[in-house]
Amino acid sequence: MYNLLQNPNAFILGVPGAGKSFLTKEEIEFIIMSTNDDVLICDPEGEYDPIIKQFGGEVIEISVGSKDHINPMDMEDGYGDSGNPIGDKSQFIMSLFEQLDRENKSITPIERSLIDRCVSIVYAEYRKTKVIPTLKTLRNVLLKQPESEARTLALRLEYIAEGTSDIFAHETNVDVSNRIISYNIFNLGTQLKTIGLLIITDAMLNRVISNWKKGKRTHVFIDEIHVIFENEESATFFASAWRQFRKRDAFPTGITQNVKYLLSSQQGTSMLSNSEFIVMLNQSPNDREDLADLLKISEEQMSYITNAQSGCGLIKYGASLVPFINRMPKDMELYRLNTTKPADRKEMLVQTEQSY
Ligand SMILES: Nc1ncnc2c1ncn2[C@@H]1O[C@H](COP(=O)(O)OP(=O)(O)OP(=O)(O)O)[C@@H](O)[C@H]1O
Ligand SMILES: [Mg+2]
């Protein structure tokens, strides 16, 4: 259905409980059953595990102490979209640094040059030695630079490159070849969650590039996407990832209950207004007004996203706005697989106990 549009970029927006994840799961189930495409999911709430397991996919659990690792220094041939893969990787690494300092979330021009220089050195060494670099390698290179700022950067990196939180400083040890992969970051602490989301997006980029070379299409779903847009470097990396997805036959979908956050960033606003497929479920009054302005939604059309039932709302498809009702009956197997409602879960537990 996306093929008729100018780009495959999609968003699913709605207040908590409006049915965003439910709809995403329905879409994933449809793709798995009706195509040969690959599906990659970033799951901050840890709620996609049942459907991934049901369809034989792989859940990669990332948390402090977990055995699964993905290496942010992995770089597939053809990485980036500027013709300068090392520069693009540096942009990504800068977005990580930005998340590492809670007080001062910005990168100075000196830091920018240092990161760029050290990332170049790391990959030049890799070309010679063929030893896969990790964040530990990058930290060691930073420590060898004469500038004091480089040592400050190394100190910032220490938090995720050494010690108990070094989950992202190992070589990738998970099988990322499964057709359906979900990255579960539910147990990752708040500070590491955004870093995790960035690193997963980078891993997805590598996978999308490798799929593209094989002529395989990929669908990417990122839940809780708004956290990325709080910081400039992260938003820039993300906007570039979105562009790369599109150019490499991948269909990215961002999911969030926080439209305000998304629109507070220039990159977020431009990503949303350039998306050809936007599903709006029930909206809060403020978000509704903002969306009406951005997407030119009339008063009458607004009624479809005001106090809407879960699973109902308005779709922007290219230039058209279409109201929809998509209620799934509770007795369907798929409903049981998709629901997150505590009452439903309790009911299912009782039914299972009774059947024993
Ligand atoms: N299409 C639908 N048909 C029937 N029930 C639905 C539908 N969509 C959602 N629901 C009901 O609403 C509940 C909440 O939906 P969902 O988990 O998708 O919310 P959400 O928008 O992702 O919320 P959050 O922002 O908290 O993650 C589901 O567990 C289900 O009971
Ligand atoms: Mg949800």
Residue 190 has pLDDT above 90, yes or no: no
Mutate which of 20, 22, 257, 331 for ligand 1? The one with the most ligand atoms within 8 Å of its CB, which is: 22
* CA–CA gap between residue 113 and residue 251 (Å, rounded): 33
CA angle 42, 92, 71 (to 5 degrees): 60
Residue 112 has pLDDT above 90, yes or no: yes
* CA–CA gap between residue 78 and residue 84 (Å, rounded): 9
The model's pLDDT over 232-273, given as tens digits with 9 standing for 90+, comes to: 888 888 899 999 999 999 999 999 999 998 999 999 999 999
Residues 6+ apart with CB under 8 A from 212: 78, 218, 248, 249, 250
Contact 276, 9 (CB under 8 A): yes
Average pLDDT rounded to a whole number, residues 93-106: 84
Mutate which of 12, 13, 15, 21 for ligand 1? The one with the most ligand atoms within 8 Å of its CB, which is: 21
Mutate which of 28, 257, 310 for ligand 1? The one with the most ligand atoms within 8 Å of its CB, which is: 310
Closest-CA residue to 279 (of 11, 28, 21) = 11
Homologous superfamily of the 2-69+172-323 domain (CATH): P-loop containing nucleotide triphosphate hydrolases (3.40.50.300)
- Computed over every residue of the chain, the mean pLDDT equals 92
Closest-CA residue to 73 (of 98, 90, 53, 56) = 90
Question: Which residue has the least CA distance to atom 24 on ligand 1?
Answer: 16
Closest-CA residue to 134 (of 81, 173, 103, 82) = 173
How sure is the predictor about 211, in pLDDT bands with cuts at 50, 70 and 90?
very high
Atom of ligand 1 nearest to the CA of 326: 1
Atom of ligand 1 nearest to the CA of 223: 27
* CA–CA gap between residue 151 and residue 94 (Å, rounded): 15
**pLDDT given for residue 346 in this prediction:** 75
The model's pLDDT over 114-146, given as tens digits with 9 standing for 90+, comes to: 999 999 999 999 999 999 999 999 999 999 999
Q: What is the Å distance from ligand 1's center to 320 Cα?
A: 25
The model's pLDDT over 47-85, given as tens digits with 9 standing for 90+, comes to: 999 999 999 999 999 998 889 999 999 999 999 888 899
Q: How many CB atoms lie within 10 A of CB 200?
A: 24
Q: What residue spans define the domains of the chain?
A: 2-69+172-323, 85-168
Strand pairing of 277-280 and 38-43?
Answer: unpaired
Instruction: Please list all protein residues whose beta carbon sits less than 5 angstroms from ligand 2, which is an ion.
Output: 21
- The b/e string for 261-299 (b: 16+ C-beta within 10 A; e otherwise) is bbbebebbeebbeebbbbbbbbbbeebbebbbeebebee
Q: What is the Å distance from ligand 2's center to 68 Cα?
A: 24
Residue 29 has pLDDT above 90, yes or no: yes
The model's pLDDT over 335-351, given as tens digits with 9 standing for 90+, comes to: 999 998 888 877 776 77
At residue 220, φ and ψ (nearest 5 deg) are -115, 130
* CA–CA gap between residue 153 and residue 160 (Å, rounded): 12
Residue 2 has pLDDT above 60, yes or no: no
| 82's tokens | 């500027």
**pLDDT given for residue 34 in this prediction:** 96
CA angle 95, 98, 104 (to 5 degrees): 160
Query: Was domain 85-168 assigned CATH 1.10.8.730?
Result: yes
Average pLDDT rounded to a whole number, residues 288-292: 95
Atom of ligand 1 nearest to the CA of 341: 29
The model's pLDDT over 296-324, given as tens digits with 9 standing for 90+, comes to: 999 999 999 999 999 999 999 999 999 99
- The b/e string for 33-52 (b: 16+ C-beta within 10 A; e otherwise) is eeeebbbbbbbbeebbeebb
Q: Which residues does a 6 A CB cutoff place in the pocket of ligand 1?
A: 14, 16-22, 257, 310-311, 326-328, 339-341, 344
Question: Which residue has the least CA distance to atom 18 on ligand 1?
Answer: 19
